């Protein structure tokens, strides 16, 4: 993997964007690699043309930014002018091509980043596993021989980064779709406070919960992309001091059903943070135990996705992945009064939890309680449902709370990847990134 900082430094020193693009394209086209499963469409010639353009500008000292000429992958959920946005499905293959880029894609282009192609994903972004029966499933880099899941729904975004097919990936996160694949694949995934990045031109899953964020090699990489996506000035990310930092470790629900590999990695990470001077405090946060009841009829995703899909389902129901379809159809279980009650319950829940967590700099918990499972072991519908719910459990509470969060690798080098999730307050994104940069230095694999 290559960081954005390393790529920018090499370009400043005289390296060519065209060479960087060609290296990524070679990884995508390698028949022994995961390119065919990772990318649904490759923009090879437009990427080459953009690279040549930026090389010319840089040669004249006129590059629009330090990042001009760096390749990024784009999740198939985003509009790219001239492309059909299929959202990982076959039901949208006959849709009209997009007339303009999604807002997030346009902002990346304006900063000089080069979209290199559209990445695979869970159909309509409605699963945390990354399995796609229509376009196949990218294999997790940790154990390709065993064919393990990449995590979802931004599955291809994660693999494009781990395999050097792009320097960063643009993803979405409605219940963990940036953070889950980042955790399972051993990279960093950031979910911003939802309103900071416009969702215009991104095919929606849940209009109340959708957010747009990056997957990349480091916290600094994610901070760079996040600033671009949010339309904020790009400033140097300065890690805060860990000495005296107050980190809360919730005890309710989020530590249940941890596999030994996750529990061991979490224990080592927390011990390392204590040794570095952070003040870790176990807090009950019993309120988290209420979430299952609050969302008992499918939460916000089910009715909002059903409203989006019901006309499409009427025409193309047989083309849907049945495991995705059943989750969308749960939206029929809620009537208008149920939905209004749920929105009110969410608002009240957010206020109660915020009052408890306000004294802390961040919450710390495992991103997922499991490491990447084998694809073959999830063929059974019950196994799929159980593992999917466990993968989504911890990340999705952040979306419900309307906060920012980041997943950082915390496993030992060579072990199955495990993510440590830091959760910040609503709109405290840059503060969280500063905390994460400090934590990363202590817990990430060496």
Task: Cite the active site residues.
Answer: 75, 153, 177
**Tokens found for residue 140:** 């997790």
CA angle 286, 281, 409 (to 5 degrees): 95
Asked if 85 and 34 count as a contact pair (C-beta separation under 8 A), the reply is: no
Size of the chain, expressed as the number of residues it contains:
446
Q: Residue 179 and residue 395: Cα distance in Å, rounded? A: 7
Residue labelled with tokens 């063929």: 379
List, as one string, the DSSP characters of 196-246.
GS--TTB--S-TTT-EEEEEESSHHHHHHHHHHHHT-------PPP-TT-E
Half-sphere exposure of 79 (CA within 13 A, CB side): 20
| Residue 300 DSSP SS3 | coil
| Cα 32 from Cα 34, distance rounded (Å) | 7
Find all residues with CB under 8 Å of 34, minimum gap 6, and list them: 138, 139, 141, 144, 159, 163
Q: Report yes or no: 278 and 269 within 8 Å, Cβ to Cβ.
A: no
Residue 253 near residue 285 (C-beta atoms within 8 A): no
Retrieve residue 392's tokens: 């989504």
- What distance in Å separates the CA atoms of residue 387 and residue 92, rounded to the nearest whole number? 28
């Amino acid at each position: 993997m290559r960081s954005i900082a390393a790529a920018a430094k090499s370009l400043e020193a005289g390296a060519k964007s065209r060479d960087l693009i060609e290296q990524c394209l070679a990884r995508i086209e390698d028949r022994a690699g995961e390119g065919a499963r990772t990318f649904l469409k490759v923009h090879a010639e437009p990427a080459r043309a953009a690279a040549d353009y930026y090389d010319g500008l840089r040669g004249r000292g006129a590059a629009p930014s330090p990042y001009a000429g760096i390749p990024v992958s784009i999740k198939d959920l985003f509009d790219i002018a001239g492309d059909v946005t299929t959202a990982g499905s076959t039901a949208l293959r006959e849709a009209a091509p997009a007339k303009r880029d999604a807002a997030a894609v346009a902002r990346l282009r304006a900063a000089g980043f080069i979209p290199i192609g559209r990445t695979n994903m869970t159909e309509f972004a409605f699963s945390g596993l990354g399995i796609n029966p229509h376009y196949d499933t990218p294999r997790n880099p940790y154990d390709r021989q065993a064919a393990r899941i990449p995590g979802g729904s931004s599955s291809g975004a994660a693999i494009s980064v781990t395999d050097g097919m792009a320097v960063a990936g643009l993803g979405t996160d409605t219940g963990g779709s940036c953070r889950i694949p980042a955790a399972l694949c051993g990279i960093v995934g950031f979910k911003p406070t939802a309103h900071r990045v416009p969702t215009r031109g991104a095919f929606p899953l849940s209009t109340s919960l959708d957010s747009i964020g990056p997957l990349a090699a480091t916290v600094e990489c994610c901070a760079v992309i996040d600033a671009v996506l949010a339309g904020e000035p790009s400033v140097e990310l300065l890690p805060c001091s860990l000495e005296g930092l107050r980190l809360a470790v919730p005890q309710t629900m989020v530590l249940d059903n941890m596999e030994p590999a996750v529990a061991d990695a979490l224990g080592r990470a927390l011990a390392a943070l204590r040794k570095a001077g952070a003040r870790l405090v176990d807090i009950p946060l019993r309120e988290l135990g209420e979430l299952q009841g609050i969302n008992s009829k499918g939460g916000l995703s089910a009715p909002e996705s059903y409203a989006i899909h019901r006309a499409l389902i009427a025409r193309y129901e047989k083309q849907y992945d049945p495991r995705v379809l059943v989750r969308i159809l749960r939206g029929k279980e809620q009537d208008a009064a149920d939905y209004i009650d749920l929105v009110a319950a969410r608002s009240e829940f957010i206020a109660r939890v915020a009052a408890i967590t306000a004294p802390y700099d961040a919450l710390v918990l495992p991103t997922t309680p499991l490491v990447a499972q084998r694809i073959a072991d999830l063929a059974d519908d019950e196994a799929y449902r159980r593992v999917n719910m466990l993968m989504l459990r911890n990340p999705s509470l952040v979306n419900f709370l309307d906060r920012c969060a980041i997943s950082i690798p915390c496993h030992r080098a060579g072990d199955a990847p495990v993510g440590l999730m830091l959760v910040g307050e609503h709109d405290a994104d840059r503060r969280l990134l500063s905390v994460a940069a400090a934590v990363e230095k202590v817990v990430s694999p060496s």
